[in-house]
A = this chain, B = another copy of it.
Amino acid sequence: MGRTSDARNKILNSAATLIEQRGYSALGVAEICATAGVPKGSFYYFFESKQALALAVIDEHWAAQRRDWEKALSSEQDPLHRLRDLFEATEEVQRAGQQQVGLVAGCLFGNLALELSNQAEEIRGRLQEIFEAQIDLIDRVVVEAKEQGQAGPSVDTREAARSIVAQIEGRVLLAKLLNDPAQLEMLWRNTLDLLQVPAQARPVID
């Protein structure tokens, strides 16, 4: 049992790395198995198809990222600073990835959303759920910020949360294109603007 779940994990990890580096379409099951050091014959023991593997990679990645997001967004800090913590953690992930392989990998979900939305309905559905969950997590913090007078009174919290997620994705795209994690540094400032944070509630940005 230990050995079989080892093989499954090896396939998952290799697929995650390869998908991050080269996308989904360019990969074949044979290459994933070769990278994982697992016989190709055993692939279909663990996964019904390449798409089933991609869904498992997405789920694993989201389980880990969701924990990070919840940790940043449920701390004792005030709402605006919790958002700042989320952005700093996001930048740190891209910076660490760059240090490891020399390249900013970007966001797995954003990469796959643009690559596969119009080709793989099940993957699109899963990614829709994940982005909606991200918007939920941020919305809750924006609601708190608004209740505490840290966000403008006319801010639509749901739309603002959606705009913040869009801003993260757009900035991550630039970070990947320019191989420059510093493209994420403006996220907090952008968010203060998008939330119409009143001058008296606006934190000093260092």
Contacts and interface: CB of A to CB of B under 8 A. Distances in A.
Interface of A: 21-23, 25-26, 103-106, 110-111, 113-115, 117-119, 124, 127-128, 131, 159, 162-163, 165-171, 173-174, 176-179, 183, 186, 190, 193-194, 196
A206 to B, nearest CB: 16
Contacts of A178: 128
Across the A-B interface, the 10 shortest Cβ-Cβ residue pairs: A166-B170, A170-B170, A25-B26, A169-B170, A113-B177, A103-B118, A111-B114, A166-B171, A193-B193, A117-B176
Contact of A115 (B115, B162, B174, B196): B115
A135 B21 CA distance: 27
A155 to B, nearest CB: 9
Given A22-B25, A25-B23, A118-B21, A162 B174 contact: yes
Nearest to A113: B177
A162 to B, nearest CB: 7
Given A162-B186, A193-B193, 19 more contacts: A21-B118, A23-B23, A104-B118, A106-B114, A113-B173, A113-B176, A113-B177, A114-B115, A114-B176, A117-B176, A118-B176, A131-B177, A162-B174, A163-B186, A166-B171, A166-B173, A168-B170, A169-B170, A170-B173
Given A111-B115, A179-B117, A193-B193, A163 B167 contact: yes
Given A25-B23, A166-B167, A177 B115 contact: no
A22 B60 CA distance: 25
A158 to B, nearest CB: 11
Contact of A196 (B114, B169, B193): B193
Nearest to A20: B118
Chain B CB count within 10 A is highest, among A110, A127, A131, A193, for A193
